[in-house]
Structure 1
């Protein structure tokens, strides 16, 4: 491992927090300008939505791969490369002469933005003492959630002040330059170091399988169901081939992109399930603003005030989850997050009628989500992995969360469309997911797997 004596944990946390905020802010910002962007390139709303879809696909592909590369080549180096890619992508988006160019630029942005949270988390797990990791990871998680809330509002402000959607992306440039310069000066390098050749075949199999599967999932609500199902099946077949290949590489003393021995650990497999469920947990939160407008009949201009407590609660939950993970451990923090999540979604299912009960229920759901999405899952993943696999482990958990965040909204939307009581059924389903989080947490704790 290479070290830099001038490095400071405070500097590292500050730089990673800024990077996570910048990357998370971007997708929220663009949601404000989708119609404006589509109109400026004279494309339909369906085509315009691909600016978000392609970003999602790019993040899904990049997270496990960047996690592995950061383990192999160094987290400082990969952080700087990721920030540079994100900055270059931002410039290209702003200068796009046509819509296809814009989509390519958004994909480059995603490849840069997708790994920042993973690199920051693995860096913290590798360099900070155990008693300080939870608080630092909680800050990253809280900033991630805060950026999602601030993004649409900031996008509206920028669009209103400048009248140009390009400035939404150009504001990333000074931040990226600052992060590159100070990342180079202030971060210490951490890497296990290996002379074994990079697993190119595994990288390609994993990337194409994720791309195929996620594309199929995102297109399930379109008219071409068979077409979408075909992509999902191809993705699953390629992923099976990927697992077989990785097992062979590891047996041959190679350096697999995702170690089969890591996948075979029960603790890690349960952490992956928690990652998937956390995506469903977040999906339940996503539908709350629509519930405010469609069921509680709150006017659009007032709905923002109703959901603000939930957004603040998620940030508080992320910080609280970090503190509790340091004090009582990540497993017990997962259990508490599950209890709070069950309480929040349970209230939505049966008791929410007016503003007061809504604030209580949405705040509980927000706190539970924040606690779960911040420190504990990353600490569980890191505890299951060797030093040389921490980034890989975190990237894989993040991928499962992204898959959950893609699958469950489609399922929840089906429940909402199916009956008049659809929202109650959807919240009940989200409560079941929180209950599963609670059960898995109890099981890990009882069996002392971590």
Structure 2
């Protein structure tokens, strides 16, 4: 690998507090536009597919975005390490904004799905690059107070998205197209902020790209998503599902073999020899598996239980946002103040597991206030964990691998989410169909009078208007189908708790990634009272000043199986 560094007489790139804050503003704008789009479509989906004639292929709207964003995560991460992140970040924003225009103008369902795929290509990059850039400019010791608000952006979008999407859809003067038009001004603003505020040093690299690794990882990801999708709809033993499973296994084995020999692997296997990278990444996978399953099923139940519209039911999810924002920001500030993080994932996983156990008691008679308390505590538990696992994984790797480590950590969380929604969605749907058939059969006359002809024709308003005992039977069927799903998730949170308890307290680096690589210097006391300490992969104290190439060494954390684990030296 050949990388050009600033010449001895070049003006050094100086990390000032103002510059960091401007960079952070640009990153939040990019993350907001990406995370909002993932949720704003949910309430508008029935109208969109109805207008475009794609009701029978509705799943493709979600699958296209999920597939594309998961595919490009490792690519953005590794390419950012090699070639710099600013231009990639701007490319991701541009892709996202342009595809939003195409989505709003889509004349057919096929064009709309294609635009969603391109949106995913941009959205996946925005998520990964924002987290990696923060690691480049902010030391791990201070990063918590930045990553907390970034996590809160996702919590805000989870609730604001459905509300805004429902508002646009319900108003004929606007229409569902505004779910995408709204991305355009926000995207342009993010592009301008990124262009002028995201000041990062240029980096040129002549490394040989891992093309085979990209192809095989893409094949593995595609096979996984279609296996989960096909298994969840047609059955896990269906011929098509088994064919995708075979493709998944073959491509995964081929990927590992290629990565072992690649000069610059897209997903470095050396990461998996570092204990404090493996543990938070595995915990992220478990959280993705359980978290998205639970959050994904609750809105439907709440709509049926409350009788509200899809848009109004978004308000019932506000407690999750409130709990997540409170603990994500609070834990980030606490980590910055104390430098300790181990207690937060332990407490968070334990709290989420306890709430899941409580949710197994859900019934048609459970008061709405009780459900809202459950959701608040669920959000509070997630806020204690979500950003910490990324921070710990970043802290465990060399500064030269920050992007790859961030992408890999997020990638496995998305893998968990994909499998969780597919597997437990199948369980929920199967039980729900049986329960609804029994509920409608036992109240056939009342169902006919209410215009409810079968499980597929149920809408919340009709259920609420039907009155008792039919309404109670239908809500009970939803609760009886949903409650056991939470019970099935409990073993995974037990595994997650064990993983969190195995965390070791590795001191957080007090030097930013760019400084550790010799690409920048501090101004004043940012990250270290004027001196340049070790951190984020450095193995010896360095003083970048104006000259020198990248200064990054081995990982800070011990490799799995090592007999000794000398930690980095940190100035306190």
Residue in 2 that maps onto 1:445? 504
Kept in 2: contact 1:192–1:387 (CA 8 A) = no
**1:190–1:390 CA distance, 2 compared to 1 (3 A):** farther
Query: Given the alignment of the two structures, is residue 275 of structure 1 paired with residue 284 of structure 2, yes or no?
Result: yes
**1:155–1:424 CA distance, 2 compared to 1 (3 A):** closer
Query: Given the alignment of the two structures, is residue 149 of structure 1 paired with residue 162 of structure 2, yes or no?
Result: no
**Which among 81, 88, 95 is matched to residue 71 of structure 1?**
81
Query: Given the alignment of the two structures, is residue 101 of structure 1 paired with residue 145 of structure 2, yes or no?
Result: no
**1:320–1:5 CA distance, 2 compared to 1 (3 A):** closer
Structure 1 SS opposite 2:28? helix
Distance 2:269 2:405 in 1: 11
Structure 2 SS opposite 1:168? helix
**Which among 122, 127, 130 is matched to residue 120 of structure 1?**
130
RMSD (Å) for aligned C-alpha atoms: 2.5
Residue in 2 that maps onto 1:300? 308
- Greater Cα shift, 302-311 or 67-76: 302-311
**Which among 409, 416, 430 is matched to residue 489 of structure 2?**
430
Deviations 1:294-343 (A, max 9, x none): 6xx33235754543222321222322332243335333221121122122
Deviations 1:199-239 (A, max 9, x none): 11111111121112112212212236220221132122212
**1:355–1:271 CA distance, 2 compared to 1 (3 A):** same
Kept in 2: contact 1:325–1:376 (CA 8 A) = no
Residue in 2 that maps onto 1:382? 394
Distance 1:190 1:442 in 2: 39
**Which among 188, 191, 211 is matched to residue 177 of structure 1?**
188
Write the mapping of 1:141-220 to structure 2, written as runs, cut at 5 A.
141-159=151-169, 160=171, 162-189=173-200, 194-220=205-231
**Which among 221, 227, 231 is matched to residue 232 of structure 2?**
221
Kept in 2: contact 1:316–1:367 (CA 8 A) = yes
Deviations 1:29-64 (A, max 9, x none): 222222222233223x13233122101111110111
**1:171–1:424 CA distance, 2 compared to 1 (3 A):** closer
Distance 1:258 1:33 in 2: 36
Kept in 2: contact 1:29–1:151 (CA 8 A) = yes
Query: Given the alignment of the two structures, is residue 392 of structure 1 paired with residue 424 of structure 2, yes or no?
Result: no
Q: Name stretches of at least 5 consecutive residues in structure 2 with no aligned partner.
A: 7-12, 436-476, 508-556, 559-572
Normalised by the size of structure 2, how large is the TM-score? 0.72
Kept in 2: contact 1:330–1:379 (CA 8 A) = no
Alpha-carbon distance, 1:66 to partner: 1.0
Kept in 2: contact 1:71–1:191 (CA 8 A) = no
**1:306–1:84 CA distance, 2 compared to 1 (3 A):** closer
**1:143–1:447 CA distance, 2 compared to 1 (3 A):** closer
Distance 2:105 2:157 in 1: 24
Alpha-carbon distance, 1:263 to partner: 2.4
Distance 2:331 2:124 in 1: 23
Write the mapping of 1:78-89 to structure 2, written as runs, cut at 5 A.
78-89=88-99
Kept in 1: contact 2:61–2:116 (CA 8 A) = yes
- Greater Cα shift, 141-150 or 430-439: 430-439
**Aligned residue pairs, count:** 442
**1:190–1:434 CA distance, 2 compared to 1 (3 A):** farther
Normalised by the size of structure 1, how large is the TM-score? 0.90
Structure 1 SS opposite 2:231? coil
Residue in 2 that maps onto 1:32? 43
Kept in 2: contact 1:337–1:368 (CA 8 A) = yes
Structure of greater Rg: 2
Q: Name stretches of at least 5 consecutive residues in structure 1 with no aligned partner.
A: none
Alpha-carbon distance, 1:262 to partner: 1.2
